[in-house]
Amino acid sequence: MKTFNRLFTLGLLGAGLFITGCGKEEIKEKKLVIAFGIDEDLESKVVAKDKFLKDLENAVGMKVEWFEPSSDMALTESLKAKKNRTDVAYTGAMPYFMAATKSQIEPLVSFAKDGKLENWGKFSYFLTRPDTNINEFSEKDLINPKSPYTFAYTKQSSGSTYLWPVNDLITSGIIKDSNDFTIKFKPYETGSTTNTVRALLDKDADIGVISSNSYVKNRKFFTEDNHKIIYKSSVIPDNLWLVQESMPQDLKEKLQNFFLNYNDKFFMENFYGKKNGEQHIKVTKENFKIIGQVMKNLNLTEIKED
């Protein structure tokens, strides 16, 4: 059991599940290799995965195995690899966008409430405590020239906790650019959503930003009198399943049909953490173009890992 747990904790990114290794040779062998990159919701994802893997195996008519990429960079490298290449991946929108600049990949499906594209996406929530003087998303409340507020986020490569919040601060005229962010705030990179929540509630941070998905998952930490949401960001593209563009069309169709018809309530609630009637939906490259605009506003050409 300890070995099993160690294997699962190797996954670094939180973006979840990857299907790999189905290059032309592997297709002949009828095998798909699935890599689990587990986030802090390890237990619920482990519970959800077993039946899903069996159902996927039956749907595509191939043996299914899995392994874990260790980081965003490892995933990108596996998408470019000539041998044992990643062919299908479940990842965040930002890692997908960055990987797409270096690999020939395309979106397959995502998920949304009631299976409607207009309900797709997540948001950044700006949180603070009632004991602060921060009450609204404005320069007057957020910027303290004498003693800049500590701003907690998970990491700079995070779309929902750093890139989108900083973008909205820029487009709202509260800061000029990402450099201005480091001047007008005290940036605090926490490494995880749980650490961000703790930093805020333990008064180690004045402002904490987490995704709307994470807010729901961490609701147990919040009470009406220990926090307040002062801002909800513009829409952020949600996690997705992607495939190699070179994958045989019939296999792409099998995978897409599998997901579009696989809306098992137990899986949706425990793997994605969704409890509002989400269903899988088709997504295309067009749905992720906004990421390029955000990167332009932040003057980014790439996102580097520490």
The tens-digit pLDDT sequence of the chain (306 residues) is 444 343 333 333 334 455 555 554 444 556 777 767 555 555 667 778 888 889 999 999 998 777 778 787 887 888 888 887 888 888 888 888 888 988 999 999 999 989 999 999 999 999 999 999 999 999 999 999 999 999 999 998 888 999 999 999 999 999 999 999 999 999 999 999 999 999 999 999 999 999 998 898 888 999 999 999 999 998 999 989 999 899 899 999 999 999 999 988 888 888 887 777 889 999 999 999 999 999 999 988 765 543
How far apart are the C-alpha atoms of 170 and 129, rounded to whole Å? 23
Please compute, for residue 162, the number of CA atoms within 13 A of its CA located in the half-sphere on the CB side: 23
Q: How far is CA 172 from CA 10, 144, 165, 182, 231, in A?
A: 39, 17, 10, 17, 12
CB neighbourhood size of 155 (10 A): 15
Taking the mean position of all CA atoms in its chain, how far away is CA 215?
Answer: 13
* Residue 269 burial class via C-beta count within 10 angstroms: exposed 0-12, middle 13-18, buried 19 and up: middle
**How much is the pLDDT for 46?**
74
**How much is the pLDDT for 11?**
37
Residue 16, helix vs strand vs coil: strand
Residue 257: phi and psi, rounded to 5, are -65, -35
**How much is the pLDDT for 35?**
63
H or E, element range at 90:
strand 86-91
**How much is the pLDDT for 8?**
34
How far apart are the C-alpha atoms of 117 and 55, rounded to whole Å? 25
Amino acid at 90: Y
**How much is the pLDDT for 57?**
92
Q: How far is CA 99 from CA 18, 102, 154, 306, in A?
A: 14, 5, 20, 17
